[in-house]
Structure 1
């Protein structure tokens, strides 16, 4: 039989303090207020049909495919239906505000930063001995061994060894600068000469260079990045002052948020 533990608002506040989560909580409150205020100033409104679509997207994102799944999720998070609608509304307002503020900046930004969105498919072995790396490089280029054979002999990590050193699809920013400089001028499939970094000596096979396209997914990502930066700038201009009640804890956004 389950035991029941009654938890008061004061105890929840105390736990938030002890787990050092108050700053994040206050930033979240400030963020919501900023979005509501900016949307109101821009004349952005939420239509009933749009809100329903946003709610459906929220359910899909949380894998709430059945009505009972939704009810269970709401109970777990102590949310009412009205509060679930508020979640859907803030998501929708955020998307519409981001589009209002930054939709016309995406294309020019993309073309100015195309190199940042390049990606590559690579296989890699990292060695400790540069002489060994060159020896293996020449053996590979002369066909004395395959890259797969080399990875089986020189990769210690079992998972990486099983996949032949496959590193997946990685954007340019995930490569060290000196490695990126070699990878993104390669003519795939191409084995690169050994590259020495602080991590070791890298032997890389570049399988594919993936050129970026400004599709809807990338457009939304760029807009989201713009929006996140904008929100941080707005929060930096706000002083958030919490007022803690000694006997009860039921602050409103207005009590927690004070503009500098």
Structure 2
């Protein structure tokens, strides 16, 4: 308990604020479960491909010529993905981690990137894929099996909740 209090002091968080934060998080979780818990299975069955998990690496650049140069170097085996990401990527995460951006659900990716990679084999290089951020050169590192895990369930509830919230906000804005 002493360590917790010391940590809270160091973070400049009062015990009351910490307890209130925990209450809010629990209420948030209970509300999502109440509103959307019963519909998670149906949502998963209708849209399971959106909840596929993939480990990806990417290099994000601002111009098409550089993107094609990177793709060519990679396909010819003249450079490693990691080295090129460190040198060229404008994406903060991908540059700092040598291209690796992590394991994501397809639904969490930029739609154009998700669409481009959804049927690609592990190890394949794609791109350039143009988005509002620039040009993406993507490598699919690993696909994970489809399973309705706790993480997938929480992701589905979060997506449903965010859509519900957006709908409520739109109703307030357009009806007031």
Q: Which residue of 1 aligns with 2:16?
A: 77
Q: Give 5+ residue unaligned stretches, structure 2.
A: none
Q: CA deviation at 1:114?
A: 1.1
> How many Å separate the matches in 2 of 1:200 and 1:179?
12
Distance 1:136 1:109, change over 3 A: closer
Q: Paired residue for 1:54?
A: none
Secondary structure, counterpart of 2:127 in structure 1: coil
Please, which moves more after superposition, 141-150 or 211-220?
211-220
- Which consecutive residues of structure 1, in runs of 5 or more, have no partner in the other structure? 1-64, 79-83, 238-260
1:111 Cα deviation after fit: 0.5
Which residue pairs with 1:170 in the alignment?
Answer: 104
Higher strand share: 2
Of residues 139, 147, 152 in structure 1, which corresponds to 2:73? 139
Name the larger-Rg structure: 1
Report matched runs for 1:91-106 at 5 Å. 91=26, 95=30, 102-106=36-40
CA distance in 2, matches of 1:155, 1:110: 34
Alignment map for 1:49-128 (pairs within 5 Å):
76-77=15-16, 91=26, 95=30, 102-128=36-62
How much does 1:187 deviate? Answer: 0.3
Judging changes above 3 Å, is the alpha-carbon distance between structure 1 residues 102 and 130 closer, same or farther for their aligned structure 2 residues?
closer
Q: Deviations over 1:207-256 (max 9, x none)?
A: 122344112443355456667849x96xx89xxxxxxxxxxxxxxxxxxx
SS in 1 for 2:79: coil
- Contact 1:106/1:223 (<8 A) preserved: yes
Q: How far 1:157 moved relative to its partner?
A: 6.6
Change (3 A) 1:76 1:173: same
Alpha-carbon distance in 2 for matches of 1:218, 1:114: 10
Q: In the aligned structure 2, how far is the partner of 1:155 from the partner of 1:175?
A: 17
The TM-score, its normalising length taken from structure 2, stands at 0.65
Shift, 1:203, TM fit: 1.1
Q: Measure how far apart 1:141 and its partner are.
A: 0.9
Equivalent residue for 1:209? 143
Q: Give the direction of change, closer, same or farther, for the CA distance of 1:168–1:105 in structure 2 (3 Å limit).
A: same
CA RMSD of aligned residues (A): 4.0
Normalising by the residue count of structure 1, what TM-score does the alignment of the two structures yield? Answer: 0.47
Task: Pick one of 112, 121, 124 that aligns with 1:190.
Answer: 124
What is the alpha-carbon distance in structure 2 between the residues aligned to residue 122 and residue 187 of structure 1? 12
Alignment match, 1:161: 95
> How many residues were matched structurally?
160
CA distance in 2, matches of 1:158, 1:102: 34
Q: Secondary structure at the match of 1:194?
A: strand
Taking a change above 3 Å as real, the CA distance of residues 76 and 113 of structure 1, as seen in their structure-2 partners, is same
Structure 2: how far apart are the matches of 1:158 and 1:104?
Answer: 38
Cα distance between partner residues in 1 of 2:109 and 2:37: 29
